[in-house]
Amino acid sequence: MLLRLAERTAILLVSLAVSSLLVFGFMVLLPGDPARVALGVNATEADVATLRREYGLDRPLATQFLDWLGGLLRFDLGKSYISKAEIAPQIADRLQVSLILVAVSMLVALVIAVPFGTFMAVHHQRPAGLVLSAISQIGVAVPAFLAGILLITVFAVQLGWLPAGGWTPPAYDPGLFLKQLLLPALSLGLVQGAVLTRYVRSAVLDVLREDFLRTARAKGLTPMRALARHGLRNAAVPVVTVLGLQLATLLVGAVVIERVFVIPGLGSLLLDAVGNRDLIVVQDVVMVLVVAVLVTNFVVDLLYLVIDPRLRTGTR
């Protein structure tokens, strides 16, 4: 158990180190001088040299990378080239918004996927199961941003039940916060729920064919009771794998959804920084997203050990 935990921790640390090097390298390879972009085309060479010196852009790349990496470890992410504002507080504020959106969206996806995927597996040869399977297949093909636009058109424009966008902190107005959160969370959650439903169905179908479940049914348990008591734990292992991948997909998908619904999250900060060519902000935000994805995968690896005791000892 401890050995496997140490292995996964080592893999996480190596992945973080390699990812930071790649993110820094890609930013360096981008054309253009950040100092000249920040000052504008009319800036003099002396002004550009001064700004480069102020931000350390005139130092060797290895020194720049080590300084940036050290700042990441202290959560000192430097200052924006454009606004001169500290980046760390901006990311902390925006990250809270994005995490709320992703967490609620994943909850929506799970509420949809677990019962419907299980139902589709148990009734896979019946009309109800086939109809739900076809609907979930259609849901997989719909992009999250298109789902968002359709939801805005129906519930905000035509019916007027919910706001089309915006963001209010829950401490200020909980009711308005929930109204503004509902449509973007559904946009992400419905699409990811359709994807996850397919995997839940497949995992449950595999478990239903196992001998131990046939034995449980032979002892008098109904299919659903046998599945709930003996099968869902075994079906959870492949589903958790997909769940980890979908969390990463939700983090990336939130970038577009935040723009569609005018939500001041991490995705909006990233797109604004890209538009302004504020490369240090882009670099920091991308690294935060990479860290979030890698940590999510690490947590999923730990969940394997909790769900399946055989992985703790290496037995099968």
Q: pLDDT per residue over 20-45, tens digit each?
A: 888 888 877 776 667 776 766 676 77
- Tell me the pLDDT band of 316, cut-offs 50, 70 and 90: very low
Per-residue confidence band for 98, with pLDDT thresholds at 50, 70 and 90 = confident
Mean pLDDT of 167-178: 85
| Token pair listed for 287 | 């690294």
Average pLDDT over all residues of the chain: 78
Under 8 Å CB-to-CB from 1, ≥6 apart: which residues?
Answer: 305, 312, 313
Q: Would you say residue 233 has pLDDT above 70?
A: no
Enumerate residues 6+ apart whose C-beta is below 8 A from 69: 20, 24
234 band by pLDDT with thresholds 50, 70 and 90: low
**Crossing angle, helix 174-208 and helix 144-151, to 10 degrees?**
130
* Residue 269 near residue 90 (C-beta atoms within 8 A): yes
* DSSP β-bridge partners for residue 86: 79
* pLDDT higher at 75 or 215: 75
| Closest by CA position to 208, among listed 307, 132, 134, 117 | 117
pLDDT tens column, 55-82: 777 788 888 888 888 888 888 887 887 7
Mean pLDDT over residues 182-192, rounded? 87
Mean pLDDT of the 260-285 span = 83
Query: Rounded to two decimals, what is the model's pTM?
Result: 0.77
**Contact between residue 191 and residue 139 where contact means Cβ atoms under 8 Å apart:** yes
Average pLDDT over residues 87-96: 87
Q: What is the pLDDT of residue 230?
A: 56
Beta-ladder partners of 79? 86
Query: Rounded to whole angstroms, how far apart are CA atoms 269 and 280?
Result: 12
What domains can you pick out in the chain, each with its CATH number? 88-270+302-313 (1.10.3720.10)
Residue pLDDT, tens place only, 104-118: 888 888 888 888 887
- SS3 assignment for the chain: CHHHHHHHHHHHHHHHHHHHHHHHHHHHHCCCCHHHHHHCCCCCHHHHHHHHHHCCCCCCHHHHHHHHHHHHHCCCCCECCCCCCEHHHHHHHHHHHHHHHHHHHHHHHHHHHHHHHHHHHHCCCCHHHHHHHHHHHHHHHCCHHHHHHHHHHHHHHHCCCCCCCCCCCCCCCHHHHHHHHHHHHHHHHHHHHHHHHHHHHHHHHHHHCCHHHHHHHHCCCCHHHHHHHHHHHHHHHHHHHHHHHHHHHHHHHHHHHHHHCCCCCHHHHHHHHHHHCCHHHHHHHHHHHHHHHHHHHHHHHHHHHHHCCHHHHCCC
Residue carrying structure tokens 């609907």? 135
Q: Residue 264: which residues within 8 A CB-CB, separation 6 or more?
A: 93, 94, 97, 167, 258
Of 252, 125, 126, 101, nearest in space to 187 by CA = 101
Q: Are 240 and 304 in contact (CB under 8 A)?
A: yes
